[in-house]
Amino acid sequence: MNIREQFLAACLGLALPAVAMVGPASAAADTGAKADETAKTTAAVLAVDRHWLEAEVSGNTAWLDAMLMPDYRSISLDGKVLDKPALLAHAKKNRGSDKMRKQVDAWLKAHPSKQLVVMHGDVAILSFSDPETDNVRSSDIFIYQDGGWHALYSQHAKVE
For the chain, domain boundaries: 3-156
Quote the CA–CA distance of 51 and 142 in Å, as a whole number.
Answer: 14
Please, which contacts does 85-90 make with residues 24 or more away whose CB atoms are closer than 8 Å?
Answer: 87/56, 88/61, 88/64, 90/5, 90/8, 90/56
Q: Which residues contact residue 143 at a Cβ distance below 8 angstroms, ignoring those fewer than 6 apart?
A: 69, 122, 123, 124, 149, 150, 152
pLDDT, average across residues 19-45:
66
Q: By percentage, how much of the chain surpasses pLDDT 70?
A: 79
* Per-residue pLDDT reduced to its tens digit, 34-91: 778 888 999 999 999 999 999 999 999 999 999 999 999 999 999 999 999 999 999 9
CATH architecture of the domain covering 3-156: Roll (3.10)
pLDDT band at 160 (very low <50, low <70, confident <90, very high): low
pLDDT at 142: 98
Whether the predicted pLDDT of 3 surpasses 80: no
